[in-house]
Amino acid sequence: MRLAREVLRGLPPAGTTPSALERMREMMNAPRESGFFPCIAADRFETDDDLVAGMLANDAGAWREFQSRYDRLIIRCITKVTRRFASIVSQDDVREVYATLYVSLLANDMHKLRSFDPERGNRFSSWIGLLAINAAYDYLRSLKREPQKECITEAMELVCHLPDPFELTSEHERATIAQQTLEDFSEKDRAFAALYFGEGMDPQAIADKMNISVKTVYSKKHKIQSRLESVLAARTSPRRIAA
């Protein structure tokens, strides 16, 4: 550790050449997640002024150090506000506030970060904590402006017994096709089709109404159905050829 501090201060350790010293300084100044000098990044940004300057310079090591140093403070300040609204705020909302705070620090050429002035008597940690609290309150105000939402599971309980627009259109189209198809049928066959296929009457009721036997109802049903199928097939075949 003493060797590392000497290198960073520009003091050449015994037996090192200037080029070797420069390479060692570059290696130790580079941000590291792990390695032989795990606390070098922290030493580079020991003071808040150094840390802010590094963040404004887009130094990745400075931002990692900021996250390592102040993440727990930020989360604590956010949850201090949101825990009073546990009925409407989840952990996902806490993460949303956290992300929004980071975006605000980077927005507009880091204008908010540049506005930090230690000469006003505020510590950097206190200033960051205040930003986190304000971000949480801003998020809660945005939730208040949104319409009241219901749980998605409640949609499963909504049942409509009326046909939807597609069903209405489809039913109308089927009725039109049936009417056009039955134009060439006899009046008696059209009456039978209306009772059996349209109203869905029981075969016995149709037999009584039309003064025919139940056996005739079934045979007539098959005859009309086969004829309808052949007529519809003939009408749709030109469309298939054209397609």
Identify the top-confidence range among 29-43, 95-109, 150-164, 174-188.
Answer: 95-109
**pLDDT tens digit sequence for 47-64:** 888 999 999 999 999 999
| Global model pTM greater than 0.75 | no
Please give the Cα distance from 215 to 221 (Å, whole number). 10
- Mark whether 68 and 117 lie in a shared domain: yes
Range of the structural domain that residue 200 is part of: 165-232
223 touches 188 (CB < 8 A):
no
- So what's the pLDDT on residue 138? 92
Task: Give one DSSP letter per residue of 167-195, joined into a string.
Answer: HHHHHHHHHHHHHHHGGGS-HHHHHHHII
Residues 211 and 131 in one domain: no
Residue 150: predicted pLDDT: 63
Q: Flag whether 40 is in a domain.
A: no
For residue 199, give the H/E element and its range: none
The rounded distance, in Å, linking the Cα atoms of 33 and 41 is 9
Task: Give residue-wise pLDDT tens across range 2-12.
Answer: 444 444 455 55
- Percent of the chain that is helix, strand, coil (3-state, to 5): 75, 0, 25
DSSP symbol at 197: I
Q: Per-residue pLDDT averaged across 228-235, rounded?
A: 75
Q: Are 133 and 170 members of one domain?
A: no
Other CB atoms closer than 10 Å to residue 71's CB: what's the count? Answer: 11
Measure the CA–CA gap between 167 and 172, rounded to whole angstroms.
8
Q: Total structural domains in the chain?
A: 2
In this structure, what token pair is assigned to residue 214? 């139940």
Q: Position of tokens 């949480």?
A: 136
130 in the same domain as 178: no
The per-residue pLDDT for 146 is 62
Q: Is residue 159 part of a domain?
A: no
The arithmetic mean of pLDDT across residues 166-171, rounded, is 86
We report the CATH number of the domain holding residue 134 as: 1.10.1740.10
pLDDT of residue 84: 87
We report the CATH number of the domain holding residue 225 as: 1.10.10.10
Whose tokens are 């840390």? That residue is 51
Q: What is the DSSP string of 93-139?
A: HHHHHHHHHHHHHHHHHHHHHHT--GGGT--HHHHHHHHHHHHHHHH
The answer to whether residue 155 is domain-embedded is no
Give the Cα separation of 181 and 178 in Å (integer): 5
Q: Give the CA count within 13 Å in the CB-facing half-sphere of 173.
A: 6
